[in-house]
Amino acid sequence: MKTQVAIIGAGPAGLLLAHCLKAEGIDCVVLERQTAPYVLSRIRAGVLEEVTVGLMERLGLDARMKAEGLPHDGFNLADGERLIRIDIKALTGRQVMVYGQTQLTRDLMEAAGPRGLEVVYAAADVALHDIESDAPWVSYTSGGIRQRLDARFIIGCDGFHGPSRKAIPASVARSFERVYPFGWLGILADVPPCNHELIYANHDRGFALASQRSAARSRYYIDVPVTEKVEDWSDERIWDELSVRLGPEAASHITRGPSIEKSIAPLRSFVFEPMRHGSLLLCGDAAHIVPPTGAKGLNLAASDVHYAAGALLAFFRRNDADAIPGYSEKALARVWKAERFSWSLTRLMHRFPEDGAFERRMQIAELDYIASSEAAQRAIAENYVGLPV
C-alpha cells in the first residue's frame, strides 16, 4: 500500500492530524494497535484550550462539543479554607471548554468513516523503516498478514510507549524527565459537581481536584503515594478525603455516589528532542508528557498537530520543503512552556515527601501572593487558557 503520510496511533493526536490532512486533500493512513472500543475506554483529562476547540471548529467537528461542552470563565485554587478565583475571562478575554477527551476522540472516530479516512485498527507489530530517507515505510500485521505501507512521511502519534520515538537514533536524541513520587487517584461518578468551576486544592493532607463532565457527572482526583493500590480506596474513603481536602465550602456541596470509574495515574514530566528526524515527525505523548495539573496533555497534542499539519501542507500543496525541518523547534518552544506551567502548578499544589516546613511556607506564601496580585493571576490565567500557537 502507498500513501503520502503514514500516521502511527489513533489517539487524539493521530486522528486530529488525519482529519486535518484529509480536509486539505493530503492522503494518509492511520495504523492503531488497539481496537476502537479499547481506545474509547481510556478516561483522560477534560479541559480544552482555544487551539483545540479551534481545530475542531475548522474541521466542522464541533457540533457535539458546542452542544454538550461547558465553557468556563475561570477556575479556583484552594488553600486550606479559602478559594482563590482565577478569572480567566476577565484577565485574558478568553475561555476554556470543559469537554472530556474521550468525547473528543469519539467525535473524531465517528467522523472518520464518513470522511473517508483510512484507519487500520488492531495493527500489530508496527515497525518503522528508512526514516532517514525520502521513502520511509511502515510494516505491520493486520488480519494475520504482514503488510507494508510506503509513505513520504511517517508521523509518530503513538503515545509514550509507542515505537516511533525509539526509531530516532540515540546519537541525535536527548530526553528530559521528572517522575513524581505520587499519582492521581481519579473517580468518575454520576453526581452533580460540587462547584460550577474547577477547584485545585492544596490541603495539609494533600492535593485534590474537583472537575466535571456535565451538570450530572463529576470527576474528582486526590493525590496518593505511587505505591498505593486502588483496591484499598473504597468510594466512601475517597469521598471522605475529598471532603476534607477541598475545604468546608466545597465539601458542603459534594454529592456522593457510586464510582463508575476509579484508577490511579502516575505523574511524569518528559520531553524528547528533537521532534523530527529525517522523514519522521512526532506529535503528542510520543514526544512529551506533562503531569495532569493544568490539563495540558491533549492541548499540547493539538498544538503539535497544528504545526505538523502546517508543515505538511506547505510541503505537499506549495512545494515548500523548508517548513518540515523547522517543525521540531517550533513545536518544542510551546511544549517547554507548557511543561514549565504544568510542573510549576504541580509544585505549588502538591506536598512532596522531601519538603520540610520551609517549602510548605513557600507554597503558602505563593498562594497568598497569587490571591493578592492581579499580575500573578494574569500569568496563571494566560498559561491555563493556552499560550498562542
Which residue ranges make up the site for ligand PHB (CB under 6 A)?
Answer: 45-47, 198, 211, 219, 292-295
Contact predicate 278/131, CB 8 Å: yes
Half-sphere exposure of 146 toward its Cβ, with a 13 Å CA cutoff? 3
Question: Which residues are paired to 384 by β-bridges?
Answer: none
Q: 22, 203, 262, 296: which is the annotated catalytic residue? A: 296
Find cell 519522521 and name the residue: 280
For residue 200, indicate whether it is catalytic: yes
For residue 296, indicate whether it is catalytic: yes
Closer residue to ligand PHB in complex, CB, 103/142: 103
CA distances from 387 to 49, 101, 380 (A): 9, 20, 11
Q: Is 11 in the site for ligand APR (CB under 6 A)?
A: yes
Please identify, among the stretches 4-12, 62-70, 182-190, 241-249, the one whose residues bind ligand APR according to the rule CB under 6 A: 4-12
Q: Is 106 in the site for ligand APR (CB under 6 A)?
A: no
Q: Which does 95 bind (CB under 5 to 8 A by kind): ligand PHB, ligand APR, none?
A: none
Reading the block at residue 47, the C-alpha cell is 479541559
Q: Is 9 in the site for ligand APR (CB under 6 A)?
A: yes
Q: Is 79 exposed, middle or buried (0-12, 13-18, 19+ CB in 10 A)?
A: buried
Closer residue to ligand PHB in complex, CB, 99/307: 99
For residue 72, indicate whether it is catalytic: yes
Q: Which residues ranging from 159 to 188 are in contact with ligand APR (CB under 6 A)?
A: 159, 161-163
Indicate the helix (H) or strand (E) that contains 29.
Answer: strand 28-31
Handedness of CA 123, 127, 132, 135 (dihedral sign): negative
Dihedral of CA atoms 132, 136, 141, 147 in degrees, nearest 10, equals -150
Closer residue to ligand PHB in complex, CB, 129/337: 337
Q: Is 284 in the site for ligand APR (CB under 6 A)?
A: yes
Interface contacts to ligand APR, rule CB under 6 A: 8-14, 31-34, 39, 44-45, 101, 123, 126, 157-159, 161-163, 284-286, 297-298, 301
User: Which residues belong to the active site?
Assistant: 72, 200, 292, 296, 384
